[in-house]
């Protein structure tokens, strides 16, 4: 390690050295090395130890064995491969495998270089061999560990594994329980209450007031270093009470509250966290940072180095280059931010929402809560979609989309405007109308040739005058949408609907519009819509910031001055016009531009004749000239125009001889076609560019550069060149100066560790009393050291708190560099908690990035119920990364709809995983490990109906290979096409589908071969319950094979060791299933609620697709009947069946919340069902898209913390009218809380429901209520 690092340091800048060490410490390359190892196993001969080669079908240990005449079979090259020479396009590849650091590999590389240099059409790729077997696991980092304060209202600790305290407040409970066996429950309750005396007591409401401000004040007053801030935030529960006793200083709070208003106006809400690096937002609100994704973004470091290199000409040694990154906005110029008044085109509207008979007509309904992915059904023409269609093109996709929205009765008003592309059809509009046949759909709208001709002229004139191009085009209330594909169109349409809805809501709230307003007037008038434009050329929006190095033309003063001050003011824009000035039309066009320009700028006229030459005509003026003389020379066809020493430069930048282009302050517009030149740019386009330049920060940038680099125009151009390049695939940057108090009263600043070296700037808008802050503080500390960064922390505490904001202890595991022990072995990275409250019940969870699936491998203690005073030593656990996810979206070609229900399969040599595509976003999730995988549609119905057309926008030819070579999740975008003959069959089979549904309803399903039982548990006590449930099932099931499906996510190592023993002894099968909670679905933070979510939200994707039916049984149930009866229960077409809540125990009537209020109204006479036992027909569930519907409703409701208090139970009952529940017989579930004693005799299962009246602990209620419980418990103990 030391040798490698020292060798690398001689090749790297000093500032890159910490980044290299950090990358290695994070083991960022381990997945790729594993991929190399797997590939090498396929080819490596036994005789080759440290190196070998593959060339087509040839494999050998020495390159001398190569036969270049034989090359059969193309080598599979991957994106991760190191190809030499770089960017080589040779189609023969020699692949070298070797162990890094060996002489054999060095010699083979040198030989390969010679071969590549001396032979044509040859390159070579280098892959690394690993001497390890691949079974040794490495210590990972980049994850967080939490110890959450556990709710102890219902005790869930397994006292079988817990020693009774010898002395608790003077009482020895072991002696007491032995002496008073009849008072077991009373003693247990007393012991629990005494234990709570040592717990962290929640703060009162008055203590929570200003807790966030007080925490900020303590951080600033104590001048805390980042390490101390990290300690306070991550152990916040034990510091909260002390902080709450502080007195606030008004001089501290006022600046914070003042700038919080500024933050809010910028879209950063009260109490939100935001993290940015050099102005680039890395994390906002509750989004997590993926450490590995962050490391892989190396552009930031390279950009800073380049800026510093350019800035070395300055004598100013204290330039904050990171600030320069935020001054100018280089993000792509989006046409969707501009609106155009389309009304003169006289669209033909296909529908009129205001003619609908509906009581929902008020615009104020926009202010009502509504699902974010749906359009409110308001009978008003709120969203007007204008589609410019080609009526002569029978395959016009926009017309198909219009029909789709009309059929779907989407609340969008659709208007059509025809256009005619003369270049495409090769004739004029008039000739086209006379000679071509328009589509049947278009003829229904425009009946006569006169009608279509008039409409075409309106459409073409609008597209020409506005600069929107030749079509097709789509406008939503005047705002252009992306029409490049049906998928992007759908996404753009609904994204713009959301944005426009927000603007209308704000206008209503601010009373800028009333209910009587006509929406057209609001969007298409300058008084109410500042985005309205008369013209902007489409070519501007496809232009890129390239910053051609035309400095020479300006330095030699080869430019036209529109006024004498233009060249002196650096903030004024520069315009380079590249043209063939021997062309008369070009001269006329440019003359027209120069005569019309009214704002100060510098103009360079660069000659680009059809015959390229680098000699400069001596008749061209050598000095700058004024506007009048430039125009005179342009009008004189014989005069020389422009600097000519640019032909080589222009060719390098793909501007051919004779072509015309315009460069406005580095924005390259063109080159463009001959027939575009007369209409290419109008004066409005130049005015748009000039305003754009100002709006994006030209003045601030020029002032900064003038201050630090006076009289150096070339430096300005160089800076802009570097800055523009980083925005090609990046997001806009944010300047934070407006959020900072001039006296630093609302922030603290930590200077870079080495201020003499180049540094970045980390800006953290901090809410210290938030879970996110516990995670971000470690990231900030790490980045500040690795990047030698200056850290600015701007305070943004929550102003209102209704409960303790942080209920956990937290550690983030990451290290700047590898550490070794005295024997040279790498030290494991780990999370260490110390000085924790001894009497507080805690539960452990691990937070990873979104692409990881982990499981606990070693843990002697119950990680769900950690009580430190009852442990004999340290509580230790070890987790393992088991899978890296392959996720993505799958959409149907043409419509962009989710291909929901599509079955996908991911397969490697020895492993296979499958899943279905959700309707929600078309999302799918597949487990994987580092390696090369084949992705395909699963054989069966899906493969018979669909084929994959595109993956990540690339056409599919042959098999689809997915490479998992990173710790970050793999995201894949699929477009699938329906097989044509299947599409036709489907369109004609509506009656067939109806008959099939009727058949399913009236027929009796065949008997089940396997009884599938699903359950989940966390913590030793519930695992103990689950073992008893499993054995009770086996003892009462006389027929059929039984298979248990257990959620793997939270099972302890002890349980996973015991389950195969039980399976073998009692004769059942089992499988552990798992699923990663998707990032886009509202996250739960409390473990209990997460588990409730797993009970109901992922039933369609949790099990293999060949499982047709499953029974969920709560872990704390005991089964007393044959579950085959339940397995074969006819659900009559419903996707699932639940047992209704018992209502026979009358003393509990006061707790039956479903009898009054919301639930009573919502259920409309239906029963409220319990989630402790239910049957799911997975085939019907998937066909019904029940999982998608449940997730959609959950996502909408869960944003309100007061809804879905019993998530797994409330959600299906809430959706009872959309996803019907078949009521199971009452005797299938009995629990003492809700059912009377008489009904217990016929009970087929007994459940240990929580009792809100007595709050009796589970263990004691199990032993008291279920007669066979102790016997089963003892029997299992003997077996395992």
pLDDT of residue 714: 59
pLDDT band at 679 (very low <50, low <70, confident <90, very high): low
Say whether pLDDT at 384 is over 80. Answer: yes
Kindly state the average pLDDT of the residues 405-417.
86
- Residues with Cβ within 8 Å of 797's Cβ and at least 6 positions away in sequence, in order, are 211, 212, 213, 215, 216, 256, 271, 766, 767, 768, 769
Could you give the CA distance from residue 191 to residue 839 in angstroms, rounded to a whole number?
Answer: 12
Instruction: Out of 160-174, 656-670, 790-804, 1116-1130, pick the least confident.
Output: 160-174
Instruction: Out of 106-110, 1201-1205, 1263-1267, pick the least confident.
Output: 1201-1205
Comparison of pLDDT for 627 and 428, the residue scoring more: 428
Q: Residue 916: name the closest of 902, 927, 934, 933 by CA.
A: 902
User: What Rg, from alpha-carbon coordinates, does the chain have?
Assistant: 35
Q: Assign residue 292 a region: left if phi > 0, alpha if psi is -120 to 50, beta otherwise?
A: alpha
Kindly state the average pLDDT of the residues 758-765.
88
Phi, psi of 342 (to 5 degrees): -95, 0
pLDDT band at 557 (very low <50, low <70, confident <90, very high): very low
Are residues 603 and 631 in contact, defined by beta-carbon separation less than 8 angstroms? Answer: no
Instruction: Out of 620-634, 935-949, 992-1006, 1239-1253, pick the least confident.
Output: 992-1006
pLDDT of residue 559: 52
pLDDT band at 431 (very low <50, low <70, confident <90, very high): confident
Q: How many residues does the chain have?
A: 1280
Q: Residue 1042: name the closest of 1111, 1142, 982 by CA.
A: 1111
Say whether pLDDT at 564 is over 60. Answer: no
Task: Using the Cα atoms of residue 150, residue 153, residue 155 and residue 156 in order, give the sign of their dihedral.
Answer: negative
Average predicted confidence (pLDDT) for the chain? 84
Say whether pLDDT at 672 is over 80. Answer: no
The β-bridge relationship of strands 574-579 and 602-607 is parallel
Q: How many CA atoms lie within 13 A of 1077 on its CB side?
A: 20
pLDDT band at 1220 (very low <50, low <70, confident <90, very high): very high
Q: Which tokens sit at 148?
A: 């959450």
Say whether pLDDT at 838 is over 80. Answer: yes
pLDDT of residue 758: 73
pLDDT of residue 796: 94
Q: Residue 769: name the closest of 719, 727, 819, 807 by CA.
A: 807
Could you give the CA distance from residue 476 to residue 966 in angstroms, rounded to a whole number?
Answer: 40
Instruction: Out of 177-181, 414-418, 1032-1036, pick the least confident.
Output: 177-181
Alpha helices in 28-96 (DSSP H): 30-43
pLDDT of residue 879: 95
Say whether pLDDT at 706 is over 50. Answer: yes
Say whether pLDDT at 248 is over 50. Answer: yes
pTM listed for this prediction: 0.80
Comparison of pLDDT for 61 and 1204, the residue scoring more: 61
Are residues 672 and 660 in contact, defined by beta-carbon separation less than 8 angstroms? Answer: yes
Say whether pLDDT at 646 is over 70. Answer: no
Q: Residue 790: name the closest of 825, 742, 756 by CA.
A: 756
- Residues with Cβ within 8 Å of 529's Cβ and at least 6 positions away in sequence, in order, are 339, 478, 522, 523
User: Dihedral of the CA atoms 439, 440, 444, 445 (nearest 10)?
Assistant: -20
- Residues with Cβ within 8 Å of 681's Cβ and at least 6 positions away in sequence, in order, are 537, 539, 593, 662, 669
Say whether pLDDT at 616 is over 50. Answer: no
Say whether pLDDT at 611 is over 80. Answer: no
Could you give the CA distance from residue 796 to residue 216 in angstroms, rounded to a whole number?
Answer: 9
pLDDT band at 1001 (very low <50, low <70, confident <90, very high): very low
- Residues with Cβ within 8 Å of 500's Cβ and at least 6 positions away in sequence, in order, are 383, 476, 477, 479, 523
Say whether pLDDT at 1140 is over 90. Answer: yes
Instruction: Out of 91-100, 293-302, 423-432, 672-681, pick the least confident.
Output: 672-681
157-182 b/e (C-beta count within 10 Å ≥ 16 → b)? bbbeebebbeebeeeebeeeeeeeee
pLDDT of residue 699: 79
pLDDT of residue 991: 46
Environment class of 849 (CB within 10 Å of its CB; exposed 0-12, middle 13-18, buried 19+): buried
Kindly state the average pLDDT of the residues 1212-1225.
94
Question: Percentage of residues in the chain with pLDDT exceeding 90?
Answer: 40
Task: Using the Cα atoms of residue 432, residue 435, residue 441 and residue 444 in order, give the sign of their dihedral.
Answer: positive
pLDDT of residue 619: 47
pLDDT of residue 297: 62
Please state the domain extents for the chain. Answer: 28-129, 153-198, 205-286+726-798, 335-523, 543-695, 885-988, 1003-1279
Highest mean pLDDT among 8-17, 275-284, 615-624, 1206-1215: 1206-1215
pLDDT of residue 986: 53
pLDDT of residue 826: 92
Say whether pLDDT at 1003 is over 50. Answer: no
Say whether pLDDT at 1000 is over 50. Answer: no
Q: What is the 3-state secondary structure (H, E, C) of 737-785?
A: HHHCCCCCCCEEEECCCCCCCCCCEEEEEECCCCHHHHHHHHHHHHHHH
User: Dihedral of the CA atoms 726, 727, 729, 731 (nearest 10)?
Assistant: 120
| Bridge partners of residue 149, in order along the sequence | 842
Instruction: Out of 657-666, 708-717, 858-867, 1137-1146, pick the least confident.
Output: 708-717
Could you give the CA distance from residue 625 to residue 617 in angstroms, rounded to a whole number?
Answer: 17
pLDDT of residue 997: 46
Could you give the CA distance from residue 356 to residue 411 in angstroms, rounded to a whole number?
Answer: 11
Phi, psi of 646 (to 5 degrees): -130, 5
Q: Which fold has domain 885-988?
A: Immunoglobulin-like (2.60.40)
- CATH homologous superfamily of domain 1003-1279? Spore Coat Polysaccharide Biosynthesis Protein SpsA; Chain A (3.90.550.10)
> What is the residue-wise DSSP string for 156-209?
---TTSSPPPS-BTTB-HHHHHHH-GGGHHHHHHHHHHHHGGGSPPPPPHHHHT
pLDDT of residue 299: 63
Question: Model confidence over 352-372: pLDDT tens digits?
Answer: 988 888 888 888 888 877 766
pLDDT of residue 1180: 93
Helix (H) or strand (E) holding 327: helix 321-327
Q: Residue 215: name the closest of 235, 238, 240, 234 by CA.
A: 240
User: In sequence order, what E strands does 842-969 have?
Assistant: 842-847, 852-859, 877-884, 886-892, 903-907, 912-916, 923-926, 931-937, 946-951, 954-955, 960-964
Question: Model confidence over 491-545: pLDDT tens digits?
Answer: 888 888 988 988 888 888 888 888 888 888 889 988 888 888 888 888 887 777 6
User: Dihedral of the CA atoms 551, 552, 553, 556 (nearest 10)?
Assistant: 120
Could you give the CA distance from residue 1209 to residue 1095 in angstroms, rounded to a whole number?
Answer: 9
Question: Model confidence over 461-480: pLDDT tens digits?
Answer: 898 888 887 778 899 999 99
pLDDT band at 988 (very low <50, low <70, confident <90, very high): very low
Q: Residue 424: name the closest of 491, 373, 375, 469 by CA.
A: 469
Highest mean pLDDT among 75-79, 579-583, 801-805, 1092-1096: 1092-1096
pLDDT of residue 760: 84
Question: Percentage of residues in the chain with pLDDT exceeding 70?
Answer: 87
Q: Residue 147: name the closest of 836, 853, 1022 by CA.
A: 836
Say whether pLDDT at 265 is over 90. Answer: no
Kindly state the average pLDDT of the residues 256-265.
90
Kindly state the average pLDDT of the residues 407-435.
86
Q: Which tokens sit at 914?
A: 């499958």
Q: Which fold has domain 543-695?
A: Glutaredoxin (3.40.30)
Are residues 1178 and 1099 in contact, defined by beta-carbon separation less than 8 angstroms? Answer: yes
User: In sequence order, what E strands does 36-159 have?
Assistant: 51-55, 58-60, 82-84, 93-99, 123-129, 143-149
Phi, psi of 1075 (to 5 degrees): -155, 140
Say whether pLDDT at 715 is over 80. Answer: no
Q: What is the 3-state secondary structure (H, E, C) of 602-641?
A: EEEEEECCCCCCCCCCCCCCCCCEEHHHHHHHHHCCCCCC
User: DSSP assignment, residue 64?
Assistant: G
Environment class of 621 (CB within 10 Å of its CB; exposed 0-12, middle 13-18, buried 19+): middle
């Amino acid at each position: 390690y030391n040798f490698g690092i020292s060798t690398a340091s001689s090749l790297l800048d000093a500032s890159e050295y910490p980044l290299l060490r950090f990358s290695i410490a994070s083991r960022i390359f381990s997945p790729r090395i594993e991929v190399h190892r797997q590939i090498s196993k396929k080819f490596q001969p036994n005789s080759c130890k440290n190196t070998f080669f593959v060339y087509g079908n040839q494999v050998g240990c020495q390159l001398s064995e190569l036969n270049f005449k034989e090359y059969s079979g193309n080598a599979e090259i991957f994106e991760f491969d190191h190809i030499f020479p770089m960017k080589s396009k040779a189609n023969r590849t020699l692949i070298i495998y070797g162990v890094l650091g060996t002489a054999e590999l060095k010699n083979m590389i040198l030989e390969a270089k010679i071969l590549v240099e001396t032979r044509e059409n040859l390159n070579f790729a280098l892959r690394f061999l690993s001497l390890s077997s691949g079974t040794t696991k490495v210590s990972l980092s980049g994850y967080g560990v939490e110890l959450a304060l556990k709710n102890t209202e219902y005790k869930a600790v397994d006292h079988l594994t817990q020693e009774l305290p010898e002395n608790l407040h003077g009482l020895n409970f072991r002696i007491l329980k032995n002496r008073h066996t009849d008072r077991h429950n009373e003693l247990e309750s007393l012991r629990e209450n005494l234990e709570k005396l040592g717990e962290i007591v929640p703060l009162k409401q008055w203590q929570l007031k200003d807790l966030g401000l007080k925490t900020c004040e303590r951080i600033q007053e104590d001048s805390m270093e980042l390490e101390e801030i990290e300690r306070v935030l991550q152990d916040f529960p034990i510091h909260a009470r002390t902080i709450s006793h502080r007195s606030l200083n008004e001089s501290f709070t006022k600046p914070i509250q003042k700038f919080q208003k500024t933050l809010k106006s910028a879209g950063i809400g009260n109490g939100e966290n935001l993290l940015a690096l050099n102005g680039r937002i890395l994390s906002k609100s509750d989004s997590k940072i993926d450490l590995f994704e962050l490391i892989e973004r190396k552009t930031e470091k390279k950009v800073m180095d380049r800026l510093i290199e350019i800035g070395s000409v300055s004598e100013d040694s204290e330039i904050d280059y990171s600030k320069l990154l935020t001054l100018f906005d280089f993000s792509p110029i989006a046409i969707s931010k501009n609106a155009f008044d389309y009304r003169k085109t006289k669209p033909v509207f296909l529908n009129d929402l205001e003619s609908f008979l509906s009581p929902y007509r008020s615009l104020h309904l926009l202010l009502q809560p509504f699902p974010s992915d749906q359009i409110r059904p308001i009978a008003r023409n709120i969203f007007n979609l204008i589609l410019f269609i080609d009526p002569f093109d029978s395959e016009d996709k926009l017309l198909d989309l219009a029909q789709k929205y009309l059929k779907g009765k989407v609340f969008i008003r659709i208007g059509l405007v025809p256009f005619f592309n003369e270049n495409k059809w090769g004739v004029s509009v008039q000739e086209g109308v006379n000679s071509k046949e328009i589509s049947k759909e278009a003829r229904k709208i425009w009946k006569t040739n006169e009608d279509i001709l008039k409409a075409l002229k309106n459409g073409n004139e609008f597209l020409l005058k506005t600069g929107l191009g030749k079509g097709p085009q789509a406008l939503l209330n005047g705002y252009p949408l992306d029409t490049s594909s049906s998928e992007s169109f759908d996404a753009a349409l609904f994204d713009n609907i959301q944005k426009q809805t927000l603007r209308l809501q704000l206008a209503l709230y601010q009373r800028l519009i009333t209910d009587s307003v006509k929406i057209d007037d609001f969007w298409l008038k300058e008084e109410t819509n500042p985005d309205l434009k008369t013209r902007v050329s489409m070519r501007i929006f496809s232009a890129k910031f390239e910053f051609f190095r035309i400095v020479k033309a300006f330095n030699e003063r080869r430019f036209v001055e529109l006024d004498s001050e233009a060249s002196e003011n650096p903030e004024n824009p520069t315009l380079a016009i590249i043209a063939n000035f021997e062309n008369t039309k070009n001269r006329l066009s440019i003359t027209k531009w120069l005569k019309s320009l009214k704002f100060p700028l510098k103009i360079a006229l660069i000659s680009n004749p059809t015959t390229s030459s680098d000699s400069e005509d001596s008749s061209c003026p050598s000095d700058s000239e004024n506007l009048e003389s430039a125009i005179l020379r342009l009008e004189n066809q014989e005069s020389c125009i422009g600097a000519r020493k640019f032909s080589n430069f222009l060719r390098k930048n793909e501007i051919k001889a004779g072509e015309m282009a315009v460069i406005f302050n580095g924005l390259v517009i063109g080159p463009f076609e001959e027939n575009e030149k007369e209409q290419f740019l109008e004066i409005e386009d130049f005015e748009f560019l000039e305003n754009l330049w100002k709006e994006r920060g030209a003045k601030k940038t020029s002032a900064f550069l003038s201050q630090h680099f006076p009289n150096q125009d070339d430096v300005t151009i160089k800076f802009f060149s570097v800055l523009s390049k980083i925005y090609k695939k990046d997001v806009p940057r944010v300047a934070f100066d407006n959020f900072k108090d001039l006296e630093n009263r609302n922030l603290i600043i930590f200077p870079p560790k080495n201020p003499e070296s180049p540094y970045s700037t980390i800006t953290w808008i901090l809410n210290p009393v938030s879970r996110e802050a516990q995670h971000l503080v470690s990231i900030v500390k790490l980045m500040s050291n690795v990047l030698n960064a200056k850290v600015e922390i701007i305070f943004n505490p929550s102003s209102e708190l209704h409960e303790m904001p942080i209920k956990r202890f937290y550690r983030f595991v990451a290290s700047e560099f590898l550490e070794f022990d005295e024997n040279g072995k790498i030290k494991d990275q780990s999370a260490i908690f110390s000085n924790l409250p001894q009497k507080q019940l805690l539960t452990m969870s691990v937070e990873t990035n979104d692409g990881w699936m982990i499981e606990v491998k070693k843990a002697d203690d119950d990680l769900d119920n950690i009580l430190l005073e009852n442990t004999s030593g340290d509580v230790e656990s070890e987790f393992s990364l088991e899978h890296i996810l392959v996720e993505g979206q799958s959409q149907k070609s043409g419509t962009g709809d989710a291909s929901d229900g599509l079955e996908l399969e991911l397969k490697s040599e020895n492993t296979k995983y499958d899943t279905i595509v959700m309707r929600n976003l078309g999302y799918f999730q597949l487990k994987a490990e580092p390696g090369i995988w084949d992705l395909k549609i699963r054989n069966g119905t899906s493969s018979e109906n669909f084929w994959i057309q595109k993956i990540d926008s690339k056409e599919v030819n042959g098999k689809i290979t997915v490479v998992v070579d990173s710790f970050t999740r793999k995201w894949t975008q699929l477009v699938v096409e329906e097989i044509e003959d299947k599409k036709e069959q489907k369109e004609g089979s509506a009656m067939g589908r109806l008959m099939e549904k009727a058949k399913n309803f009236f027929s009796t399903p065949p008997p089940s071969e396997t009884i599938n039982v699903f359950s989940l548990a966390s913590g030793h006590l519930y695992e103990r319950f689950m073992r008893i449930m499993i054995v009770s099932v086996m003892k009462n099931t006389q027929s059929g094979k039984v298979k248990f499906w257990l959620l793997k996510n939270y099972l302890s190592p002890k349980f996973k060791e015991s389950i195969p023993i039980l399976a073998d002894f009692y004769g059942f099968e089992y499988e552990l299933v798992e699923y990663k909670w998707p990032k886009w679905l509202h996250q739960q933070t409390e473990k209990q609620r997460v588990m409730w979510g797993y009970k109901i939200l992922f039933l369609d994707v949790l099990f293999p697709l060949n499982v047709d039916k499953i029974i969920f049984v709560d872990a704390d149930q005991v089964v007393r009947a044959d579950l085959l009866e339940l397995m074969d229960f006819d659900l009559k077409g419903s996707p699932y069946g639940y047992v209704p809540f018992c209502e026979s125990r009358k003393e509990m009537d006061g707790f039956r919340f479903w009898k009054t209020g919301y639930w009573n109204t919502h259920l409309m006479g239906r029963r409220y069902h319990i989630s402790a036992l239910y049957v799911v027909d997975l085939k019907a569930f998937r066909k019904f898209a029940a999982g998608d519907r449940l997730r959609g409703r959950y996502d909408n409701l869960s944003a309100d913390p007061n809804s879905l208090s019993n998530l797994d139970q409330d959600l299906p009952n809430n959706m009872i009218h959309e996803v019907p529940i078949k009521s199971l017989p009452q005797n299938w579930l009995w629990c003492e809380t809700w059912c009377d004693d008489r009904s217990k005799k016929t009970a087929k299962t007994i459940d240990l429901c929580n009792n809100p009246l007595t709050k009796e602990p589970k263990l004691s209620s199990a032993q008291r209520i279920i007669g066979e419980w102790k016997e089963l418990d003892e029997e299992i103990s003997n077996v395992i």
